[in-house]
Every structure is written in structure tokens, then in C-alpha cells.
Amino acid sequence: MAGLRFTSLRLRLVVVFGLVALTAAVSASGIAYWLNREAVLTRTQDAVLGDFQQAMQTRASTLRRHPTQGELQRAAGQMANSSQRFSVLLIAEDENGRAVRGNSDLDTFTLADVPRSLQKAVNKEQKISSNNEYAYHLYWQRTVQDDTPYLVGGAKVIGGGPTGYMLKSLEPEAKDLNSLAWSLGIATGLALIGSALLAQAAATTVLKPVHRLGIAARRLGEGKLDTRLRVSGTDELADLSRTFNRTAEALEKRVADMSARDEASRRFVADMSHELRTPLTAITAVTEVLEEELDAETGSVDPMIEPAVRLVVSETRRLNTLVENLMEVTRFDAGTARLVSDTVDIADQITACIDARAWLDAVELDARRGIMAHVDPRRLDVILANLIGNALKHGGSPVCVRVREEGADLVIEVQDHGPGIPEDVLPHVFDRFYKASASRPRSEGSGLGLSIALENAHIHGGEITASNSPKGGAVFALRLPRDAGEPKDAGNAGSGDTGRADRSGSDHDGDSDGNSNIGADTDIDTGRTEGGA
């Protein structure tokens, strides 16, 4: 984690500081080097050219119009004997019109060392005007020969006389400038190192509160809503910490209010369900008597009221199932549901579920005997009853139930032959009270069956998924661990309501199909064609 933090914001801060410092140092060093270079070269250049021009006026101009080579040689030696120590080359014509040359350094400085462009400029006669008093001028140029910089200058004696050139080595100045460049480079490196150290210190100062804020945010995300930050100072980070504390406080209050309302809602549903059981027990007993009268051969019930009696019997069953389902839902929400596990043969368990509800003719079972699993038999029966009953009600017969083993898990697939589940309905098939068709808001079930089946799968540590088969029909896949053991989300296993949840699951509602009254509702109204077996 520390490495990740260093390579993220801390490293970026150091890099940014370093780049800023490097840019500033390089810019300052470059400007300083350029200014010093120009100052050194200009000072040397002006001194050399001034001496050369003075020497041309005092020495070369005093020569005859057609001097001899000896005279040129002496004049060149005298001109070179100055404080600037430069080489001199003088060129003139003798009385016979031949070119004669005089060199102060014994032919080490020749005309070949003078750039042609400089020779052309020196020998070009300028037109005399008000802005130009002389026909010839002094010209100079910087050159590099064998990695050594030189200053080359040239001038012609006005009124007829020799042409003079000078060559001055700038190697001492180049060495001075190289030393300056090294010094500036070292200063730049030290500035970069210093900026990196300063950036590290600044990053530590800035990131320490950010790190504390990150830890507090993670604790808040883990549900520790009482997390707060110590605030000191008046800068932006302190304001951010105060904002975090206010947000955490508001969130804690909001969650507490929501939890209180949710607890009150669950308690209301549970209390209402328990209160409804007493009158429902009496009503159920009466409806059973009425149903017996309807089925009796004597026909003691008036045919005019027989439809009303059957409607009362049907709605009483539905209300009884709804109350029991609501009680089961409140147990799941309160975390008081728990497993009563046993080792069962899965094939026998599925066969018993199908046989108890008279579905043998409508269901095909593909499961070998001997596949054992440690599960809660009653809750597994609830899951299977919901999945198979839902397939029969909304899909097409026959319904195929397949069992296979995948490692330590057990997979039970329930597939029908109906039109399948619409794509917009698939994400909601396990939602409570979900109705895919607005035209059928009222149905025989409570809309809680698949939701309860999914909760029962969850406390086994399993899952239920819904999909459509490429060959047609919907497929519900139940995946359970072979050894469910104790529930992972049972909550308060020692609650007094736990025993009531386990006992109530063993009752039956007296339906003709033998459905278990806990979560046996199969009407989720997925919008598929009704008309199963």
C-alpha cells in the first residue's frame, strides 16, 4: 500500500517539483551562460580588433605603396607584438606588380586561413557618401579550426597600400566559458536535488492529512459511521476535514433514522402477521368445513352461493399464504432465520417435493441417486417448490429438473418449455412483489415466492440465477455448496423468534397440491404465457 501511495500522488508531486526546478535552473543557467559568453567574447573581440586597427594605422599605412617582402615581414612582426598576441598577415604588390606577403608567424598564418567571404568584404571598395566616409572598412569573423575557436579580422589601407589580416585564438576564453558551463551545470544539479528534497518534505506535509482522510473514508465505507477526523489549522485541507466530519455526522444520523424506520416497519409487518394468524386460524377452520360441504355428495350448499363459497375458500388460502410469507420475510430481514441441516439424497428430496404436489406427470427428473448434500431439507423443499411451480405456471410443460455436480457445489437446473422471460424482466424476477404485467396486478400468489427462495439459497451459502435457454424456455439454476453447514447470514441465531421460524415451516396450508405454506407461492407474474400442466 505504501508503495502504491508513493508511486501515485507523492511521486507526481516530486516529479512536478523537480521539473519546475529543472526548468528554472536550466533557463537561468542558459541565460547566464549566454550573457557571460557574449560579454567575454565581445570584450576580447573589441580589444583585439582595436589593437589591430591601431596597428594598421601606425604601421601598415607608413609602408611604401609597393613595399618589398622584407618590409612587409618587419611590419607584420611589429604589428603582432602587441598585448593581444595575435598573428598578422600583410599582402601588397611590389614594383613589378607581383603579390608579396609578410607573415608574423613564419607562414603559420596564411591566406587560406581567411574565409573567402571575409576576403571579399575587405577588398570591396565602398562608395563614398555622406553616410560612408571611407572606401574600405574593418571586417571580422569567428571561425573554428581543429576544434579551436579563432577570431579573424581584415582591413585595407585607404589610398593604396597593403591589405592586412589578423588571427586571434579564442581558446583561453573558450576554456573559461567551459568552466562556467560546468559550474552552472553543477549548480543546476544541486538545485534539482534540493527541489526533490523540498518536494518530498512538501509532499509529506500535504499527503499526511490526505492519508488520514483516506483511512477515515475507508472506515466510513466499512460501516464505522462514528469515524471523525481531528481538525487543526485553517487551510484548505482543514476545511476538507471539517466537511468530511459534517458529512459523516449527517450520514450517521441519516442511517440511524433509516435503521429505526426500517426496524419499525419490520416490527409492524411481523406484529401484523402474528395478529392476523389468530383470526385466520378460525376463518381457515370455517372454510375447511365449507369446502367439505362443497365436496359432499349430499350437495347441502345452495348452488346459487356455491361460487361465492369457493371464492371465499380460495381467497382465505391466499391470505393465509401471504401472512405466512410475510412472517418468513421478516425473519430474513431480521436475520433470525437459520438452517436445520441434515444429510439428504438430492434425487430423493426432489422426488418427494414433486410427489407431494402431484407433479409427477408434468416434471422430468434427470438426477442420479446417491448425490448427497448437507442442507436444510425444509428450506430446500421451499426452493424447489417455488422454482418448479413457477415453471409449471408460467412456462410450458414438461418441466425438466437436472442435477449435476461442479466441484464442491451442487447445481439444480429447472427448465420449462415456455416462451422464456422478457429481457427487461430478468433483472427483477427475484424482487419482492414484482409484477411484470400491469394488466394483471392481482394474482393467486403474493409475489414473494422467488424472493423467499433466493433468501433460502443465500443462507445456505448458495445462489439462484435466471436466464433463457437458446432452445427456448426459462432456466432457473440453483447452486448450493455440498456442505452448507451453519448459515453465513443467519444474524442473531439465538433470537427467540428462531424457534418459531423453524416450527412454522413444518406446517401446511391445506392446499390440494400440498404446497408448503412457507414461500410456496409461485406467482411472480413474469409475463410468460400461463397454461402449464
The arithmetic mean of pLDDT across residues 506-528, rounded, is 35
Place of cell 426459462: 474
Q: Domain range spanning residue 84?
A: 2-128+138-178
Please say whether the beta carbons of 385 and 515 come within 8 A: yes
How does pLDDT run across 105-125, given as a tens digit for each residue?
766 788 888 899 988 988 888
Calpha distance 153→51 (Å, rounded): 11
Please count the other Cβ atoms lying within 10 Å of the Cβ belonging to residue 355.
12
pLDDT digits (tens, 9 = 90+) for 136-167: 888 999 888 888 888 999 998 877 788 899 98
In the chain, the percentage of residues whose pLDDT exceeds 70 is 83
Residue found by looking up cell 410468460 in the block? 528
Q: Mapping DSSP to helix (H, G, I), strand (E, B) and coil, where does residue 250 land?
A: helix
188 lies in some domain: no
Cell numbers representing residue 22 in the block: 529543472
Among 334, 360, 389, identify where a domain stops.
334
Is residue 196 situated within a structural domain? Answer: no
Considering its fold, how many domains does the chain have in total? Answer: 3
Q: What SS3 state is found at 315?
A: helix
Instruction: Return the DSSP state at 169.
Output: E
Q: How far apart are CA 404 and CA 396, in angstroms?
A: 23
pLDDT in tens, 214-259: 888 888 888 888 888 888 777 777 888 888 888 888 988 888 888 8
Least confident of 8-17, 170-179, 453-462: 8-17
Which whole number is the average pLDDT over 68-89? 84
pLDDT digits (tens, 9 = 90+) for 83-110: 778 888 888 888 887 888 888 876 678 8
Read off φ and ψ for residue 137, nearest 5 degrees: -135, 170
C-alpha closest to that of 91 among 49, 63, 129: 63
Mean pLDDT estimate for the chain: 78
In this prediction, residue 2 has a pLDDT band, given cuts at 50, 70 and 90, of very low
Phi and psi for 89 in degrees, rounded to 5?
Answer: -130, 120
**Is 134 a residue whose pLDDT tops 80?**
yes
Per-residue model confidence (pLDDT) at position 360: 86
Give the C-alpha separation, 28 to 411, whole Å. 74
Quote the pLDDT of residue 476.
Answer: 92
The pLDDT assigned to 441 comes to 43
CB 451 within 8 Å of CB 435: no
Angle formed at CA 354 by CA 474 and CA 525, multiple of 5 degrees = 40
pLDDT at position 352 is 92
Which CATH number fits the domain that encloses residue 259? 1.10.287.130
Are 372 and 282 contained in the same domain?
Answer: no
Give me the pLDDT at residue 95, please: 80
364 and 308 in a single domain? The answer is: no
Contact 52, 164 (CB under 8 A): yes
Same domain, residue pair 469 and 434 = yes
pLDDT of residue 9: 66
Contact between 507 and 428 under an 8 Å Cβ cutoff? The reply is: no
Residue 262 sits in the same domain as residue 346: no
CA end-to-end span of the chain, whole Å? 60
pLDDT (average), residues 454-459: 88
Q: How far is residue 168 CA from its own chain's centroid?
A: 65
364 and 445 in a common domain: yes
Instruction: Please state, in angstroms and rounded to a whole number, the distance separating the CA atoms of residues 420 and 454.
Output: 19
What pLDDT band is residue 348 in, cutting at 50, 70 and 90?
A: very high
